[in-house]
Structure 1
């Protein structure tokens, strides 16, 4: 039963994605934007209307989301085969994709909140899917970090009550000259930063790796973490040349640098790929803050394909190595899994920006545009150094996972024969190779011709080679440092400069300690004696007393009668 359901959902999403690509082409060629309004009901002067925006950007992004979702669902048919709750998993994935669809097609802040909150809630359900202590902690960190952004969206909606509609699309050019721009802009940027895990909200992204691997492929490529970038791309006409965008550039740069450095000190396979996503999100935020929103959107689309392929390859590896995610226990698998190894290698090279693979078209363009922008030398250094770190950790990941000597037990089952997984990875592989040139014609219809001196033109290739050499050297350094127990540096860089500790214990430790103190001193201390014990004794006394009054003794009635006569006489005398 469930197998048929997986196949049906795969086919529906796949064909809808193909339709979206064709529809995007039509809208792009005719320079059209379609608004569709559906009136649910009208009560007096109040209209409840759902507005859908279909332009080239929303349809193209929907096509990419649906295509990757269909591949992930088809892959999950095999990956989740022996799971007891496979139907629940499928329904959660479908709800996840629908929430992202609401977010993409909405020009209205209210319906954006519907998709935004849906993503947060369902991501929590998926992170705690395996129901152990690690998953619960990761899920709580994820949802609490995202709630900051949800609150910011609510405040932005409240401020938009000053205008006639919640459809921000109509106000983008007007809001540039409005005083309330500052408040709405702060809220929108805060929402985008929390959902896309920029500093100081970065710690939830590696923690969310507690979810099943197909979910990670979906979350890190085209849905949850890209929602913040997409929202800021939509608001970019309003936020251009805004002072807060300079701070956003700084946050993007720092996120890119810290996550790239952290990935070089991490040994968890999925966490390395998660930190790689964090690094790419930092790059998107940086280029967005340079007022190049189309270029950020272009990199967002291309990154989705090779990152989802990278996670699906990681899923095959984790299954083969008896559910172990530690790259130190892998190795020599290239001999036994040549197909998966080839997919993994190509997606890694696309991530690094190897010429004429998908990642090259956006990364090379972004790095050359940074040279033309008015950045300071520190920002420029961080941008290029982080690109070199990408090559460094990609080489390290491939070396430890496929080329190193195996450290695993003898009872491992390395195989490439699961054709359900392989078919979905082949489709993503095709887009990881040709997607760059394919989307460049669609997203960037005008040719960018960037004139630079030869040494600056070759700088990107030089940085890649330097990262490659650094990765080769660092492999031996890691072995030396690890054997000599020099783990302080590992702990600092591998833990994102202690950010997960700061955002968990740093936020709630003092509050919980204060709560424990109040509980000891008040609930179990003087409050119990003064309030609870006294109340208990007094209530018992009065209850016994009133119970005697209700026993219907004749003398009690006589007493009451005499008291009433006395009261009556007193009142007569007073008159």
Structure 2
């Protein structure tokens, strides 16, 4: 228990110290030490407990419970006051209702309910701890250099780096608590802390757009918290337990499925599934480290983590089918919406929501094959997407914008960033990288479970995914139309080292996926479902994919210039007119010299407008409404 407590509390201490320090040099040193320390603690904890696991039964937890209640009441008071001040009264209503409900339950109904196992470290929580600790630490390290450059480029934004970096570490502490808690009250508390951290970071710049987007995120996620709180009260009163493991072991009967459905709704809001996705898109206004940490790699994974935990209760049930359909609609709609985007962070945001939808689909199907794919998707999406966000953040400093159409000159500006970004994109859609392997297994599991509609949705959504990733990587490898002026931002070591390490993690994790399956996923499935589980991909196919991966890495190396002074001959580009000689202008039919432009015209009229988003949201709302009716009908019967 001491090691688990240190793992949770160490980032909290670093957060407090970072809040208090104002001198840049000292603060940077604290953050670097905190990031390296968190990384070391994460790896050490995983080495200690990954094989045998850990279940902690705390005797007297009264002081912890009091601390949690005090913080919850204080947080609720702040949110209620904020909602009144900003005239966003729905925030105040949600916060008041859920806090009053939890307090009523705590003081009138909870007596006599014993929590035997408060903390669980099993294979799934171990995977999540590694994702949070390793990826989170690298992002915090990256933030040191990035935020310095951010305020040099955005002089109009008040410098509150101590606040920003402190919230990042506070979030890491809450995420560790969330994935390790078996006590639903503790899990709920950490869930709400991550919501509050997200609100703070989205509103960092204090612009009207940032403030509105942060309030939208708070409304949606606090609304999800209401569903979570109602589920806790129902579980406690009907089954006299507050243990997640006990809930999962129950039979999927009507009375059980009602709180399970509510927990799934809370998970859908946290993972930004339709119709709750608007908050994640708005979150892209925040500085890139928060986008990478909270809104791609870790916080949004909390929702799918909970659905994976609840998977044994889903499957063929009405709740399972509804959640599967919501995830599938999200995957297809957001994959299509990503095609028409120019802003790199918006492409990454839509891609994140879409892939979370795919994970929701796999988890809610409830079969061993599908859950195997879901866990692998969580791992590969976290490492690849965090690499992409960090690369885009540094590219924005280098190019002055994050328009994908302008990244055709990136090879001239920073070959390193081009390579890192290419690795991240490859990790998302190329064979035999992990995301494609996971989709292959997902497709197989959907076919085996006779979900024909889901198979069709997966096929079309994957085609859209191929389209927008292919468009982006094609722009990168076009090697520029014309040269650059050479005036670009500095790519600091604080940025480069985490990006390099994350690129290495993407490649290593793809090569090591058979080991990940054998050591982590298969043992978890064996424990969750009973009996001996098996990997859905045989050893022979695994070895073939590893060989393909090695070839894919080695072949392009011969095409990468080794220095900026490469003697390779650059030939003029054909522009449907006479090249003016600079590869930027051409002589048009009228004899007028015109500048060549490459711009995004990919179905913007159809996929870039609000109408497509509206109907996608309405479809998801309809499905959830049907889910509510089915749950009520099942309970009434």
Partner of 2:403: 326
Q: 1:249 touches 1:286 (CA, 8 Å); kept in 2?
A: yes
Among 379, 395, 400, which residue is 2:470 paired with?
A: 395
Tell me if 1:448 matches 2:535: yes
Among 416, 432, 442, which residue is 2:506 paired with?
A: 432
CA distance in 2, matches of 1:484, 1:442: 47
Tell me if 1:17 matches 2:42: yes
Note the alpha carbon deviations across 1:209-260, whole angstroms, 9 max, x for none: 0111011111244322111111111122223321121111111111111111
Q: 2:113 touches 2:240 (CA, 8 Å); kept in 1?
A: no
The 1:490–1:184 alpha-carbon spacing in structure 2 relative to 1, beyond 3 Å, is: same
Q: How far 1:195 sits from its partner (Å)? A: 1.1
Q: How does 1:520-559 map to 2 (within 5 A)?
A: none
The 1:70–1:486 alpha-carbon spacing in structure 2 relative to 1, beyond 3 Å, is: closer
CA distance in 2, matches of 1:93, 1:414: 24
Q: 2:340 touches 2:600 (CA, 8 Å); kept in 1?
A: no
Partner of 2:96: none
Q: How does 1:250-329 map to 2 (within 5 A)?
A: 250-291=325-366, 292-322=370-400, 324-329=401-406
CA distance in 2, matches of 1:401, 1:224: 29
Q: How far 1:497 sits from its partner (Å)? A: 4.2
CA distance in 1, matches of 2:428, 2:598: 32
CA distance in 1, matches of 2:598, 2:397: 31
Q: How does 1:228-247 map to 2 (within 5 A)?
A: 228-247=303-322
CA distance in 2, matches of 1:321, 1:277: 24
Q: 2:409 touches 2:482 (CA, 8 Å); kept in 1?
A: no
Note the alpha carbon deviations across 1:120-144, whole angstroms, 9 max, x for none: 1110100011111111121122111
Partner of 2:445: 369
When structure 1 is superposed on structure 2, of 339-348 and 394-403 the one drifting more is: 394-403
Q: How far 1:303 sits from its partner (Å)? A: 1.2
CA distance in 1, matches of 2:429, 2:179: 28
Q: 2:321 touches 2:364 (CA, 8 Å); kept in 1?
A: yes
Among 124, 137, 161, which residue is 1:86 paired with?
A: 161
Among 41, 61, 67, which residue is 2:134 paired with?
A: 67
Among 145, 148, 171, which residue is 1:96 paired with?
A: 171
Note the alpha carbon deviations across 1:6-55, whole angstroms, 9 max, x for none: 1111111110121133135322xxxx441332523389977997921222
Note the alpha carbon deviations across 1:408-446, whole angstroms, 9 max, x for none: 98474166x523222111221122112132422323345
Partner of 2:61: 40
When structure 1 is superposed on structure 2, of 39-48 and 243-252 the one drifting more is: 39-48
Among 484, 490, 493, which residue is 2:604 paired with?
A: 490
CA distance in 2, matches of 1:388, 1:277: 16
Partner of 2:422: 345
Q: 1:262 touches 1:496 (CA, 8 Å); kept in 2?
A: no
CA distance in 2, matches of 1:242, 1:490: 38
Partner of 1:420: 494
Q: 1:195 touches 1:224 (CA, 8 Å); kept in 2?
A: yes
The 1:358–1:239 alpha-carbon spacing in structure 2 relative to 1, beyond 3 Å, is: closer
Among 144, 155, 159, which residue is 1:77 paired with?
A: 144
Q: Give the alignment's TM-score, normalised by structure 1.
A: 0.75
Q: How far 1:491 sits from its partner (Å)? A: 5.0
CA distance in 1, matches of 2:600, 2:420: 34
CA distance in 2, matches of 1:109, 1:290: 24
Partner of 2:244: 168
CA distance in 1, matches of 2:420, 2:325: 34
Note the alpha carbon deviations across 1:373-416, whole angstroms, 9 max, x for none: 2112x32122012112212111212334563756998474166x
CA distance in 2, matches of 1:189, 1:344: 34
3-state DSSP of counterpart to 1:26: coil
Q: How far 1:489 sits from its partner (Å)? A: 5.4
3-state DSSP of counterpart to 1:129: coil
CA distance in 1, matches of 2:479, 2:205: 30
CA distance in 1, matches of 2:294, 2:476: 23
Q: 1:328 touches 1:407 (CA, 8 Å); kept in 2?
A: no
For the aligned residue pairs, the C-alpha RMSD in angstroms reads 3.3
Asked which structure has the greater RCO (Cα within 8 Å, sep 6+), the reply is 2
Q: 1:106 touches 1:112 (CA, 8 Å); kept in 2?
A: yes
Partner of 1:556: none
CA distance in 2, matches of 1:449, 1:489: 37
CA distance in 2, matches of 1:215, 1:203: 17
Q: 1:330 touches 1:407 (CA, 8 Å); kept in 2?
A: no
Q: Give the alignment's TM-score, normalised by structure 2.
A: 0.68
CA distance in 1, matches of 2:137, 2:425: 22
Q: How far 1:339 sits from its partner (Å)? A: 1.1
When structure 1 is superposed on structure 2, of 278-287 and 241-250 the one drifting more is: 241-250
The 1:347–1:88 alpha-carbon spacing in structure 2 relative to 1, beyond 3 Å, is: same
3-state DSSP of counterpart to 1:34: strand
Tell me if 1:8 matches 2:8: no
The 1:329–1:361 alpha-carbon spacing in structure 2 relative to 1, beyond 3 Å, is: closer
The 1:497–1:193 alpha-carbon spacing in structure 2 relative to 1, beyond 3 Å, is: farther
Q: 1:368 touches 1:450 (CA, 8 Å); kept in 2?
A: no
Among 187, 209, 219, which residue is 1:112 paired with?
A: 187
Q: 2:31 touches 2:144 (CA, 8 Å); kept in 1?
A: yes
The 1:397–1:345 alpha-carbon spacing in structure 2 relative to 1, beyond 3 Å, is: same
The 1:392–1:166 alpha-carbon spacing in structure 2 relative to 1, beyond 3 Å, is: same
Partner of 1:190: 265
Q: How far 1:487 sits from its partner (Å)? A: 8.4
